[in-house]
Every structure is written in structure tokens, then in C-alpha cells.
């Protein structure tokens, strides 16, 4: 896809992978609507922040309407990046945290994608990138709820790609390993450190995937730090 002049929606755009993805898209001529609860730092003429709770369908619908009002109907890129994780054993995990993770990590993809797909279909092109995790490929002790959501993202992505490829719409799923973001701020068992991948690394991967030829579809990409312990 030729990215210059395209319009993208990035969820969870205020920090981490979402923020770096927003930056790199702007650097490459893409206009970006950043959907998040709080505004990211900085200012760019091609960027508009839209206050959004991606786990709430009504909030997503309002954000979508505002995005179309700002940028028009030609929405070519959707990066479903927003995600949260809660640490804890399966049997002690609070019901509220279970639903919070599914709302942010899974429901948000359903809410946003079904609004954007008709716009992409009308364009005859589009690319949806869903951010899963290596937690979506295997189980992790004391992360059962998070793993469940990221396995769901993988299955959802595979079904979406099979349904939408005939319309010229690409769906790709990325499975990052440990990345130095605020994700680990609330964890007792691990802290973010410099031997992890950097958010910019994942943004570079997203940029590459978006720039592939029209008849070339990247379905799954798993990325990990080479020396996670240094």
C-alpha cells in the first residue's frame, strides 16, 4: 500500500506501541486518528486525538463518527492495539478484571473493525492490524485471563482475514514478545527493562507490513527479543 495521504485509526495511541505506531505513520505521510482515553504527548497537523473508551461500543461509535467528520470516509488502516493485562492466578482473578481485559483486548476489535470494514470495502482496499501477544500462542502462569484474550485475538484475526481477503482487505496479527512499555507497571513478577524489544521496533514491523504489495498478505508475525535477559 502506498501510505502517503492515507488515513489510519490507531487504538491505545497515548503510549507504548500505539504511540510509536502513531509517530511512525505520521512520519510516513499518513493521517492518524488516535483513539485513547488520554491524549498522547506532542502535536502534529496530521494527527487528531479522539477521546475513546474502546471497551464501550457507544464510545467507539462516537469516536468513529468524529473521525469520519474530521478525515472523511476514506479510512484505509486500522491498528487495533489497545490492550491491558492483569496478573493473578486463575482461581483468584476478579470477575471485574476478567471482563475488563476482554472488553479492552477483544471486544474493542469487534466494535472498531465492523465500523471501518464498510469504508475499506467501498475503497477496494484496507489493512487491519490486530496486536496479539506471544501470550496468544501459549499459556503463561498467573496470566490466564490475559492469555485467554490474546488467544481470542488470534482466532478472531484468522477468521477476519479469511472473510475479508476477497474484498481486498488485509488482516494481519502481530504476536510481540516482551516489549518495554508501561504494560508491566502494575506487575510484581517482572519489570520492563532494556533487554526487551522497544515499542519502536514493533511500530517498524507494522510499517513494513502496511507497505507490502497489494497482492501480498502477511497473516501472522511473531517477534521476540533475541537476548531477553541480556
154, 159, 163, 165: CA torsion to nearest 10: 40
Cell of 39: 491524549
Confidence of residue 191 (pLDDT cuts 50, 70, 90): confident
Q: What is the mean pLDDT of residues 168-172?
A: 98
- The residue from 111, 146, 175, 216 that is catalytic is 146
Confidence of residue 55 (pLDDT cuts 50, 70, 90): very high
For the chain, percent of residues with pLDDT exceeding 70: 99
pLDDT score for 185: 74
- Mean pLDDT score of the chain, rounded to an integer? 96
- Window from 54-63, 155-164, 184-193 with minimum mean pLDDT: 184-193
Going by C-beta distance under 8 Å and a sequence separation of 6 or more, which residues neighbour residue 168?
124, 125, 126, 214
pTM, rounded to two decimals: 0.96
Active site residue 216: no
Residue 42: Cβ-neighbour burial (10 angstroms; 0-12, 13-18, 19+): exposed
Confidence of residue 192 (pLDDT cuts 50, 70, 90): confident
CATH number for the domain whose boundaries are 7-223: 3.40.50.720
Q: Is the pLDDT of residue 224 over 80?
A: yes
Amino acid at each position: 500500500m502506498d501510505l502517503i495521504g492515507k488515513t489510519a485509526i490507531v487504538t491505545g495511541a497515548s503510549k507504548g506501541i500505539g504511540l510509536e505506531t502513531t509517530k511512525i505513520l505520521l512520519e510516513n505521510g499518513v493521517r492518524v486518528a488516535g483513539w485513547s482515553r488520554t491524549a498522547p504527548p506532542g502535536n502534529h497537523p496530521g494527527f487528531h486525538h479522539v477521546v475513546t473508551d474502546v471497551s464501550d461500543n457507544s464510545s467507539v461509535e462516537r469516536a468513529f463518527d468524529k473521525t469520519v467528520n474530521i478525515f472523511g470516509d476514506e479510512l484505509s488502516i486500522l491498528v487495533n492495539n489497545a490492550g491491558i493485562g492483569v496478573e493473578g492466578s486463575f482461581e483468584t482473578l476478579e470477575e471485574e478484571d476478567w471482563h475488563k481485559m476482554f472488553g479492552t483486548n477483544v471486544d474493542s476489535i469487534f466494535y472498531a473493525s465492523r465500523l471501518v470494514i464498510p469504508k475499506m470495502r467501498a475503497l477496494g482496499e484496507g489493512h487491519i492490524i490486530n496486536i496479539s501477544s506471544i501470550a496468544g500462542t501459549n499459556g503463561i502462569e498467573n496470566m490466564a485471563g490475559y492469555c485467554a484474550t490474546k488467544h481470542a485475538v488470534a482466532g478472531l484475526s484468522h477468521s477476519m482475514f479469511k472473510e475479508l481477503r476477497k474484498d481486498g482487505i488485509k488482516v494481519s496479527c502481530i504476536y510481540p514478545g516482551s516489549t518495554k512499555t508501561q504494560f508491566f507497571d502494575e506487575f510484581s513478577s517482572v519489570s520492563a527493562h532494556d533487554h526487551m524489544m522497544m515499542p519502536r521496533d514493533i511500530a517498524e514491523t507494522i510499517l513494513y507490513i502496511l507497505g507490502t504489495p497489494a497482492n501480498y498478505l502477511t497473516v501472522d508475525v511473531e517477534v521476540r527479543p533475541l537476548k531477553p535477559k541480556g
